[in-house]
Structure 1
Amino acid sequence: MSDAEENPLEETEEDGEIEVEEEDEEGEYANYKELESAQQQSTNSNMPGWRESQEEGEEEEDEDGEEGEEGEEEEEDEEEWEEEKRVEEKEDGEEEGEEVGEEEEEATGAQEETTVQPQEITEPVVSLEGLTQADSQSISSYFFKKIHSGSASKHSLQSELSEATELSRDLVAQLEFLDLDLTTSGEQQLRFPERQPSGEPGEKAKQGPQDESEQETRDLGPEREALEPEKREKRKGKRVSYEHERNEKEFQPKARSPSQSLVSITTGDILFQKDDSANVYPLTMTWSFGWNSSLPVYYIRDENQTVLLYASAHNAVIYNVLKNNQHHLQGHPNVISCLCISEDRRWVATADKGPNCLIIIWDSFTGIPVHTIFDSCPEGNGIRAMAITRDAKYLATISDAEIQKVCIWRWTLAVETPACTLDLPREYGFQNYLTFNPTNNKELVSNSKTQAIYYMWYEEGDTLTHSAPLLTGKTFNKLVGKFSQSVFHLNLTQILSATMEGKLVVWDIDRPPPSASSSLGFPHIKPCKLVHLQKEGITVLTTVDSYIVTGDIRGNIKFYDCTLSIVNWYSHFKLSSIRTLSFSKTPASPPTENTNYPPDCTLKGNSFIVRNLIIGTADASVYHLTTDGTKLEKLFVEPKDAICAISCHPYQPLIAIGSFCGMIKVWDYEKKKYLFSRVFEKGLGVQSLTYNPEGTLLGAGFTEGTVYILDAMSLESEIPEPFKYSRSSVTHISFSHDSKYMATADVLFTVAVYVLRVKNGRRVWEYLARLRSHRKSIRSVLFGVHLDSNEPRLLSLGRDRLLIEYNLPKSYRDHLEVLDIHRTDQGSCPTCMVWYPPLTKELFLLVCNSGYKVKLFNSTTKMCRKTLLGPVYGSPIEQVQILPAKTPMELQKRYLVFINRDKVGLQILPVDGNPHKTSALVCHPSGVAGLTLSYDGRYAFTAGGQDRSVAQWEINLSALEAVVSLGGEDLTPFYGLVSGGREGKFYRELEDYFYYSQLRSQGIDTMETRKVSEHICLSELPFVIREIGFYPSEDRIEDMFNEIRFSEYVDTGKLIDKINLPDFFKVYLNHRPPFGNTMSGIQQSFDILGFTNSKGKKAIRREDFLKLLLTKGEHMTEEEMSDCFATLFGLNPEGWKSEPAASSVKGSEICFEEELPDEITAEIFTTEILGLTISQDFRQEPTVSEARRSV
């Protein structure tokens, strides 16, 4: 395999431009020997190259004369060493040189397929081009030490230097990327990328200087060593000028130039050496519990460690079993639908399924995304199957659409379109598996449940042909079964397709000779035979070494030779259905006296030697099988079904995770260690979990209505029999502060209460009562404390907009007493509630609703005291919790953690509508099902529901505070919420209306002296609000009045009856709809109230429309309705309810038959009656001129 095949990105140049130096093999080999000479010389240096180069750089200005002498001494030493080396070279012979030349020629030819890594994945590079000869010598010394010191650096190339051919090939390739140009004259140059990323342990070296003009002058690799002398002299002169400029600059460390990336210089796994402790985001994922067992798990490292690759939600996880570390490959906007890995286990490709789907290729050595393909499936819904060639040059995908498309990508080139595509007919079925021929990059095979397809890619014309013979029951006169997977046979002339009936379909590949004309047709396949291989359905089919391997639904793993004769099998492990088999990259060691390979089942009974492997099963278990000794190790067992229930222990670093499969697992989330678990009987899916405040009990609600109370440390039942008083899934569980009461809510809108009593000296939980108190789903069940008696209080909140408090002391067996009922909103539906922390003298309930608002209710009177704009991140908040305070000082500064449909976020309290006080990111694209916080407030945990994962997020509050401080103070953050900001047209008109309302309140026609004030009275607030395009109901107006009146009541005992402009601006921003007046909201009302007219649109008849205004909702009087229409139709020149003398037409004189059409649609109501302009996206807020009719 060539260098380009081993590292597809290693032969690339900047911006996709490739320059290939055509030099003879002799020149390249001589250059390699010269580099080897510099390498050997560098091992004798007495001090680290970076430090030496820095010290010399600091003395450069005063010791210019010494540079030439030092250069001559270094050159003489090098010549003496080379003289000694020539003797050794003769022993190696010319054969080695020919091999090197061939390898270089092969690598050069492969450059046409590759490009440089995208800019976003590059790392800084330190350029040392203009250093003196002594400086470059010291740095080259450091460089080659790093290559050859296995104990000092994880970037060691020792494994690559075992043979002379490997040495020459890999070293030349590496130097080609490092742009080394070592000359034998006094001025050598070396472009040396930093060997480790910043923060990596064990790396203390300082960086060299960086010239600003470095990016414009680049060396093209060690091939330039063979340049003619005159060219070399020209380049030397240019370096001297650079050096002169550099000497005038201060010698200081600088970042690595973006011309090279960490990917191109890394030859070994450094993923778990990097220090990722630097946390600059408010929320950072630190661990992922669970994995997607529908996708494969890969064995990517096996040198003294076990490293796995698997998918968890929208992240790919690289898990080091020995170190118990995870690295997350984050970047997908949707749940990952497929992933694959190259033969050398370095290049990982992941793809997702959903809107704006991506294909990302990662370097597993560094965790860096090296290429991203956007819009890979614009017509469909993402990628369903994917495969990568053995040498990682090409990627093939099959879309997840009704008409599936097969694409082949030259991902190593800077192109955004596939090399070729092919649309598959519907009758082929849904293709869900794809693989390349391991020995021919131009051949592929895929299959659905009913059809196998063979593909041939003609690269010259970028055409993809296919052959898909249809199998029927008459083909073999036997039942074939559903296809599972297909592979190319080891003999390369056949394809094997496994079926769920335990059979193999053998396809012959008919390939016309290359010299044959096109009249003979394209390659195609035809069914050859049907082999009944085993009784159990085959779920996995793969090849390794000289074996064909199957995994089946009974957990058996069987090995066959090329004639399909069985060689060995593993059937005694009692595993569930096999989902994936991944073999080690390292071949099995040959048998010795110390090995214990099992015998195969042939007559000879030879040792069965095969590589170690990773086994993934349908029950989400992962095992490692060591074939030497047949040792099976269980690595982890995760939930195989949806995860909706999570809860953190109140004072220990424990988290309980419950799944629909009936499993409850408890983890130590600081040590990332699984502690204990319990699996309940089939049919019991865990829907909700909650620890009691003492941390001794764990309440568990199940999908079929059962409620368990478990011991927190053993998960054993604390009650003789579980409670079965609910007939549907228990969605909420809550304990009172003294653990005397437990309340639950279920899907059928019922609240149930259980009480702890003492009987015969024992504490016993008993059922108290239940009540169907809501008409729609219950969103929260919350216990509180009566401040005067310290007794528990219980409240529930439903989507029916009702906040209900229960009277626990007066409740008795089968009777749950209701204390009071309050409506929380008029239009929006509440989504969750929590007790607001004591940041003020008043105790509040914080309620979030579907209108992106956060409301504060007085805990006693239930009066709405404040309405504020909440986080707006695509969907309303669905669950919220207050972050625990760690220290007494933090009690004065509190934070809130929330989730919406697919995101988790932070909010700084108090909530005031400032958009900079909140931050969020995508945590589970398919939907968040639960949220819990650690007892110390360091971590947040989110459950992903159907993606079967739980994410652990580290909270960094200082990062969020930094955003707030940068956002400005006072009204500065709020100006950005309106069009044009502080100096825009909207805000200017708002000021004009604010001061005009003062004139209006004093009388338009008055002749008295005007009194200009900074305030307006509250009675004017509704008119100004409506004039600028926000039309609140009377109920919302009352909420605004209460908010302003009682804003200082707790502190001063006085009511406020006026408001200034800054406070008015905040009230407007916090109360208005977050997306303005939308056509969809108006249309929804007409859908409910109207009928379908002859044009198929929802409409309301004129008489019904007037009747609704007079009788329904906040109905009007006839006078109010007439005055309103007079203003809308332009009959009152000064507006609604203006001065009596200014009215030219009385409301009673309006003829509605003339002004209103017989049928009113949403469009007519909006444009002709209200006079608004409908924007194209229906989300833009109407401007002031659009929001009012000109008069």
Structure 2
Amino acid sequence: MSTENGKSSEAEDTGEPKSTENNQIKKESHDGDEATGEVEKRSDLPSQQEDTADSQIYTATSLPAIPKETNKTHPLVLEWAYGINSSLPVFSLQDEDRLVIIYACAHVAVIYDHTSKSQYLLQGHCSPITCLCTSEDRRWIVTADMGQESLVIIWDAYTGIPVKTLFDCHPEGGVAALALSKDSKYLVTVGAGLVQRVCIWNWTDESEEPACQVDLSPKYGCQKQILFNPSDSTQLVSNSSSQVLFYNWERGHLEYSAPEITDKTFNAVIGSLSQSVFHYDGVQAFTATSNGNIILWDKQTESVSRQPIVRNAIKLVSMQKEAIAVLTLIDSFIVTGDVNGHIKFYDGNLKLINLYNEFNVDPIRSISFSKERPSNNSLEYPKDCTLDAKPFVMRNFVLSTIHATVVHVNTQTNVPKSLLREHAEPLEAVACHPKQPLVAMGSHSGTIKVWDYQHKEAVCSRVFLSHKQIQCIAYDPQGFYLAVGFASGALQIVDACTLHNDGKECLQFTQDSITHLTFSQDSHYLAAADTGKAVTLLCLCKEGTQEIWKYQGRHHSHYKPIQDLLFGVDLDSNQPRLLSLGMDRRLVEYDLQSSGENELLILSCDRIEQSAVPTCMAWYPHLTPENFLLTASNLYKMKLFNATSKMCRKTLSAPSYGSPVKKMLILPASKDGDSNSRYMAYITEDKVGIQILPLDGNPHKSFVMICHSTGVSTLACSYDGRYVFTAGGQDCTVFSWELNLLSLEASAALGGKGMKPFYDLLEGGRDGLLFKEMEEYFYYFQLLDQNLDSMETRLVSTRIPLADVPFLMRALGFYPTEQELEDMQNEVKFSRYAETRNYVTDIDLEEFIRLYVNHRPASGISRQELYNAFQVLGKPDEEGRYNIDRDELLELLQARGEHMTEDDLAECFTTLLGVTPDGGNYTGSLLESVLPAEITMDAFASDILGFSVATQELHQEHHGQES
């Protein structure tokens, strides 16, 4: 849950379990070398293990039915994962009475029951999963990532519970490959660092250290695949694209050999190495190549007794012309999958037994066979392709392709069944239908796919062939049209139900990528923003009996990228309004009523920020008599602007969870609950959050979850406000989050009522020195207001004049600009004007504390900010250090931004430097005497501002960042 200072708690806010109750699976079935990995209930348990007899893991015997409803203890519950990591294998868990597979999707592992159309989501990683494997009996699942705090998690497939977590076992860069031994007792991991480390873990014991490890030489390339010998767990094989390594470990010592393999070995071009496996005799090994060859490895005859066992490449077998992408072993067969989507079965002598070449699938990424053995009735199976034409008795299998397709093959009928067909390229566009439970997703492959998110069924899809790289999509409020914006600048408006557009060509008004699309509330206008910093307006017109979209106008209204585009409604005329917000800090409103054919006019242009960069905006719900526009900025602030006058009416602390808010949506009002209870969904760089309205700066009213650790691109809300959808961009994934608003309200209530959350935001809280200092200053200003020298009876009051607020803020060490001070005073002055038509001219202590915690900077001046300022204003010297000329700095301070007089400058600098002028006169000559002619960043930081950081260290740090 949210912590008191508004930061996310890693264990609770993200909802990602990093360990289990004991972080350890008991060793009931792993005591012997031939353990199967199955946990069976026994009556002769040791006394220390009696407490496990009733545990879910101990008693589970098979994959359970995945419940469609789960206990929702968090405000945001990951409800469904749309997408798949097509670079990782897909494994079959079961396919007798239920068809169940497991695959990776961003930082989540998904157990998908195709029979019941349900998912069980294994959440534990905070970074994308880069490795996935299962035990031979499919009881255990292992996942790993390459994040800054990389994890390896062993899961119980029967319950979905993590039974062991290896924390930061490869701190040099995470895990690049892993595998379980045949008996499931041992786990091998390969690090992803420059110097790869191979570790073997006995994961069933209590040790946090590997049983053995060895570092690999970088000259052998990045080992991307590793495998245990199924006949002998002390032997392993791994390969990079150019080198195969064989390992042997015994008594805690791990060694490897790297037999030479080049084009000269067989006087033939070998190609890149893809995968390696051991022969089922346990002696020989095979490696597949990109040239359609298989390399055969065998022991050296003179090295039978040597350790490690040395193998040499003894033969290069040409199997086909196409590259072999997958090489695996099942029962007595060697199986290959190639880039043409063909699957071939060979016997131990590499004699072709059978093949599947009619599935019409993409290049194959993985093949996984069912753990259930085929029936004994061989007559039910088709014939193989040998001259004898014997029944080909084979397990069912699941294959995945590089284009995010998963297919199940029943070997009795030879009929493929498509299980998944997802987006294989970055997915950055998502939109929800305004009246139906439909969500549309668009990717860079030019594909749009529409899902029914209640029944978990794909409704329709379309591939745009002429234009690809879909950047954004939007439904109109009536649900008739779906607008699609492309990176090429093309704009396509299609029927929302069929995704067709009656053969009409794409509209193209720019070569710049479309970044934002929005419809007016009456569906009469469509606006688009692009990377050319321009806004284009289309209008729906009638031509005979048909309605067509016509170009109305285009305006280059910003000089920096457009951050958001929004339609609204004028409350007086009920006419649509269009606003755009840019990185240039300008809020532009367009004059739709006066704009004629082929023109788009600007009604107003307001600079709404001084130093902060606005990131997004939304219309604030009608919780007050005033109509507000809500904006967020990169300095973790939110602001409410009067919708008519554009005056800043309130400044509030925004959720601060590592990165600023980048998009926000006001959720629809609940039809069942209190109409005054409103909520807002938002995204940051990698998280999705939900916020209770009205906004007041209370951090406990906000909750976040990690949604896409590589970056979330956009979000959408269902028409009934029950679900929020986030698109992950590079991870090709969309997550569906179910909202539990009662849990959010309970979380906020636990943070305290009234002023408690705001007292907790002060250093030391209600009993700290800062609060006491505030009280003393507050009472002091009351005395000043009543004249310090007065001997009359004091009139005790709880309020001070509004005019004293700037002095009180500065006394507390917060130095706002004149514009910020004006915003503060307007916030208080007009706080009750809509209700009473009277100004507020004073403020009490509680109101002041709220004002202070919401307006003060979320963080102090950073070193990088100071460095950037000197980089812009100064000039580098011979050593690369930036200096600012004294006279130029003084001129800038007097002529740019909020102007300062020469006397003001002299007073500020002498105060900072501790210099007292003679006679109290501040002059320009005084500044020349106290300031050097060239001001370095080091001197400015330490001598003038008084930073405690060593100046040389400060410079070196920034100089290193620049490099």
Same fold (TM over 0.5): yes
The question of whether the paired residues in 1 share the 8 Å contact of 2:25 and 2:204 is answered with no
Deviations 1:1022-1079 (A, max 9, x none): 2221222222111111111111111111111122222221111111111111123433
Q: 1:304 aligns with which of 94, 97, 110?
A: 97
Residue aligning to 2:324: 538
The question of whether the paired residues in 1 share the 8 Å contact of 2:906 and 2:927 is answered with no
Shift of 1:588: 1.4
Q: 2:258 aligns with which of 468, 474, 479?
A: 468
Residue aligning to 2:42: 174
- SS of the aligned residue for 2:744 comes to helix
- SS of the aligned residue for 1:891 comes to coil
The question of whether the paired residues in 1 share the 8 Å contact of 2:407 and 2:418 is answered with yes
The question of whether the paired residues in 2 share the 8 Å contact of 1:1079 and 1:1174 is answered with no
Residue aligning to 1:887: 671
The question of whether the paired residues in 1 share the 8 Å contact of 2:373 and 2:395 is answered with yes
Q: 1:967 to 1:638 in 2, by over 3 A?
A: same
Structure 1 gaps, min length 5: 1-12, 20-103, 116-159, 161-169, 180-217, 222-256, 1134-1142, 1180-1191
> Take 1:416 and 1:823, find their aligned partners in 2: how far apart are those partners?
57
Q: 2:829 aligns with which of 1037, 1041, 1045?
A: 1045
- SS of the aligned residue for 2:316 comes to strand
Residue aligning to 2:286: 496
Matched, 1:975 2:759: yes
Counterpart of 1:645 in structure 2: which amino acid?
A
Residue aligning to 1:1066: 850
Counterpart of 2:84 in structure 1: which amino acid?
W
The question of whether the paired residues in 1 share the 8 Å contact of 2:300 and 2:311 is answered with yes
Matched, 1:704 2:488: yes
Matched, 1:286 2:79: yes
Counterpart of 2:813 in structure 1: which amino acid?
G
Deviations 1:221-270 (A, max 9, x none): 7xxxxxxxxxxxxxxxxxxxxxxxxxxxxxxxxxxx67863212222222
Residue aligning to 1:268: 62
- SS of the aligned residue for 1:1151 comes to helix
Counterpart of 2:809 in structure 1: which amino acid?
I
Q: 1:622 aligns with which of 398, 406, 413?
A: 406
Residue aligning to 1:404: 196
Deviations 1:1093-1149 (A, max 9, x none): 45543332333332222222212101212222343344569xxxxxxxxx9622238
> Take 2:230 and 2:500, find their aligned partners in 1: how far apart are those partners?
52
Q: Judge which range, 981-990 or 883-892, deviates more.
A: 883-892
The question of whether the paired residues in 1 share the 8 Å contact of 2:942 and 2:950 is answered with no
Matched, 1:384 2:176: yes
Matched, 1:487 2:277: yes
Residue aligning to 1:452: 244
Q: 1:447 to 1:110 in 2, by over 3 A?
A: closer
Counterpart of 1:1102 in structure 2: which amino acid?
R
> Take 2:117 and 2:166, find their aligned partners in 1: how far apart are those partners?
32
What is the correspondence of 1:314-325 to structure 2 with a 5 Å cutoff? 314-325=107-118
> Take 1:353 and 1:546, find their aligned partners in 2: how far apart are those partners?
35
> Take 2:806 and 2:879, find their aligned partners in 1: how far apart are those partners?
38
Shift of 1:877: 0.4
> Take 2:30 and 2:501, find their aligned partners in 1: how far apart are those partners?
66
The question of whether the paired residues in 2 share the 8 Å contact of 1:719 and 1:765 is answered with no
- SS of the aligned residue for 2:439 comes to strand
Residue aligning to 1:764: 548
Deviations 1:985-1014 (A, max 9, x none): 121112222333344556667777765542
- SS of the aligned residue for 1:1147 comes to coil
Shift of 1:557: 0.3
Q: Judge which range, 913-922 or 959-968, deviates more.
A: 959-968
RMSD: 2.6
Q: 1:638 aligns with which of 416, 422, 443?
A: 422
> Take 1:378 and 1:1066, find their aligned partners in 2: how far apart are those partners?
43
> Take 2:674 and 2:503, find their aligned partners in 1: how far apart are those partners?
39
Shift of 1:904: 0.5
> Take 1:602 and 1:567, find their aligned partners in 2: how far apart are those partners?
6
> Take 1:901 and 1:355, find their aligned partners in 2: how far apart are those partners?
16
> Take 2:817 and 2:802, find their aligned partners in 1: how far apart are those partners?
16
> Take 2:500 and 2:557, find their aligned partners in 1: how far apart are those partners?
32
> Take 2:826 and 2:947, find their aligned partners in 1: how far apart are those partners?
30
Counterpart of 1:627 in structure 2: which amino acid?
T
Q: 1:873 to 1:470 in 2, by over 3 A?
A: same
Deviations 1:1135-1191 (A, max 9, x none): xxxxxxxx9622238722442234333443343223354499x99xxxxxxxxxxxx
Residue aligning to 2:574: 790
Shift of 1:850: 0.5
- SS of the aligned residue for 2:821 comes to helix
> Take 2:391 and 2:864, find their aligned partners in 1: how far apart are those partners?
72
Counterpart of 1:465 in structure 2: which amino acid?
E
Residue aligning to 2:213: 421
Deviations 1:399-428 (A, max 9, x none): 122222211112111222222222222211
Q: 1:1123 aligns with which of 907, 922, 935?
A: 907
Deviations 1:120-170 (A, max 9, x none): xxxxxxxxxxxxxxxxxxxxxxxxxxxxxxxxxxxxxxxx9xxxxxxxxx8
Q: 1:559 aligns with which of 320, 338, 345?
A: 345
Residue aligning to 1:193: none
Residue aligning to 1:206: none
Residue aligning to 1:963: 747
Question: Percent identity, aligned pairs only?
Answer: 45
Residue aligning to 2:372: 586
Residue aligning to 1:145: none
Q: Relative contact order: is structure 1 or structure 2 higher (C-alpha 8 Å, sep ≥ 6)?
A: 2
Give the TM-score taking structure 1 as reference length: 0.75
Q: Judge which range, 995-1004 or 1160-1169, deviates more.
A: 995-1004
> Take 2:159 and 2:673, find their aligned partners in 1: how far apart are those partners?
41
Shift of 1:741: 0.6
- SS of the aligned residue for 2:271 comes to coil
> Take 1:631 and 1:943, find their aligned partners in 2: how far apart are those partners?
34
> Take 1:259 and 1:1062, find their aligned partners in 2: how far apart are those partners?
56
Shift of 1:914: 0.4
> Take 2:786 and 2:906, find their aligned partners in 1: how far apart are those partners?
25
Shift of 1:799: 1.1
Q: 2:734 aligns with which of 932, 935, 950?
A: 950
Residue aligning to 2:155: 362
- SS of the aligned residue for 2:638 comes to strand
- SS of the aligned residue for 2:508 comes to coil
The question of whether the paired residues in 2 share the 8 Å contact of 1:803 and 1:824 is answered with yes
What is the correspondence of 1:1007-1026 to structure 2 with a 5 Å cutoff? 1013-1026=797-810
Give the TM-score taking structure 2 as reference length: 0.93
Residue aligning to 1:652: 436
The question of whether the paired residues in 2 share the 8 Å contact of 1:271 and 1:364 is answered with no
Counterpart of 1:495 in structure 2: which amino acid?
A
- SS of the aligned residue for 2:395 comes to coil
Counterpart of 1:750 in structure 2: which amino acid?
A
Q: 1:899 aligns with which of 671, 683, 687?
A: 683
Shift of 1:916: 0.6
Shift of 1:282: 0.1
Count how many residue pairs are aligned between Structure 1 and Structure 2: 933
> Take 2:591 and 2:487, find their aligned partners in 1: how far apart are those partners?
28
Matched, 1:431 2:206: no
The question of whether the paired residues in 1 share the 8 Å contact of 2:186 and 2:200 is answered with yes
Deviations 1:747-782 (A, max 9, x none): 221211111111123211111111221122211111
- SS of the aligned residue for 1:965 comes to helix
Matched, 1:808 2:592: yes
What is the correspondence of 1:48-127 to structure 2 with a 5 Å cutoff? 109=32
Matched, 1:1170 2:945: yes
The question of whether the paired residues in 1 share the 8 Å contact of 2:25 and 2:164 is answered with no
Counterpart of 1:280 in structure 2: which amino acid?
T
> Take 2:682 and 2:145, find their aligned partners in 1: how far apart are those partners?
26
Give the structure with the higher percent helix: 1
> Take 1:953 and 1:1044, find their aligned partners in 2: how far apart are those partners?
38
